[in-house]
């Protein structure tokens, strides 16, 4: 009986912690969104196209990040730090990116490039860093 109570308390604690984290994450994104003008996906993509990055990789990175942001009211900006501003874990972002690349039949970077990316941009990782690494493969 005590085991069931312990497991129930553990599950309840996990659920509440998840709810609190999601609420804080949403508030953080809302504060960031309210501090700047709305930018469409097309605006975001055209910014990188002007820098001569391949559109398919720009879209792949955008779509991978959107799996974590998931709010229609939130606009991604090129200078945003994906790890600190969006609270995305390096490994989770890597998995999401790999999944999107596979769905779009795009070249996957080898593990050494991703490890290099994690080391080089440990303090601040922007979408441009990801697009840059993906474009090297192209």
CA–CA gap between residue 68 and residue 77 (Å, rounded): 15
Question: Among residues 118, 26, 113, 117, which one has the least CA distance to residue 73?
Answer: 26
pLDDT tens-digit profile, the chain (138 residues): 688 888 888 888 888 777 887 788 788 888 888 899 988 999 999 999 999 999 999 999 999 898 888 888 888 998 899 888 888 887 888 888 888 888 888 877 777 777 777 677 767 888 888 888 787 755
134 burial (CB, 10 Å; 0-12 / 13-18 / 19+) is buried
Give the burial string for 105-116 (b: 16+ CB within 10 Å, else e).
ebeebeeeebee
Domain ranges of the chain: 1-35, 38-137
Q: In degrees to the nearest 10, what's the CA dihedral of 66, 72, 77, 78? A: 30
Quick check: pTM over 0.85?
no
């Amino acid at each position: 009986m005590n085991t069931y109570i312990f497991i129930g308390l553990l599950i309840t604690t996990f659920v509440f912690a998840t709810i609190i984290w999601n609420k804080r994450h949403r508030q953080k994104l809302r504060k960031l969104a309210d501090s700047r003008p709305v930018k469409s996906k097309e605006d975001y993509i055209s910014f990188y196209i002007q820098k001569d990055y391949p559109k398919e990789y720009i879209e792949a990175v955008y779509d991978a990040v959107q799996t974590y942001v998931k709010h229609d009211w939130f606009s991604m900006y090129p200078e945003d730090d994906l790890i600190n501003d969006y609270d995305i874990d390096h490994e989770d972002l890597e998995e999401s990116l790999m999944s999107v690349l596979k769905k779009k039949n795009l070249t996957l970077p080898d593990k050494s490039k991703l490890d290099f990316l994690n080391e080089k941009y440990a303090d601040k990782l922007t979408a441009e860093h990801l697009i840059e690494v993906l474009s090297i493969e192209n």
